[in-house]
Amino acid sequence: MSMAAGLETLQYTFVGTRHSGAFAPVLVGVVGSGNLEVLLEPSPGSNCRFEVQTSARGFGNIWEAVLRDFHARHPLAGVAVAIHDMGATPAVVSLRLAQAAAALP
């Protein structure tokens, strides 16, 4: 976890079982007040890596819980997930992640 320029950066890695193979990057959402964008990109290996940049500092435990729940439902492997957040609620985070996962092959 690191903090710079008003944002907190959080990183999480989970081992996945659902390989999507090659795919074009997937972008959903928009960075704005109370919203976020999610970018999925192919990544080597069996892990699903999450990097969260958020303006809401101090909520690492909440982020981990939301991402663990998502990954339990969508055990992606070989995927890097970048999240740029401007204060989205956990429900919005879950919605955007589900939208991105639905766009994968």
User: Which CATH architecture fits 2-102?
Assistant: 2-Layer Sandwich (3.30)
- Residue 11 vs residues 17, 22, 24, 58, 76: alpha-carbon distances, Å: 20, 23, 23, 14, 16
> What pLDDT is recorded for position 5?
62
pLDDT confidence bin for 1, thresholds 50/70/90: very low
Who contacts 85 (Cβ-Cβ below 8 Å, separation ≥6)?
31, 36, 52, 53, 54, 55, 56, 93
User: Hey, where are the domains in the chain?
Assistant: 2-102
- Taking the model in full, what pTM does it have? 0.90
> What pLDDT is recorded for position 31?
86
pLDDT > 50? residue 2? no
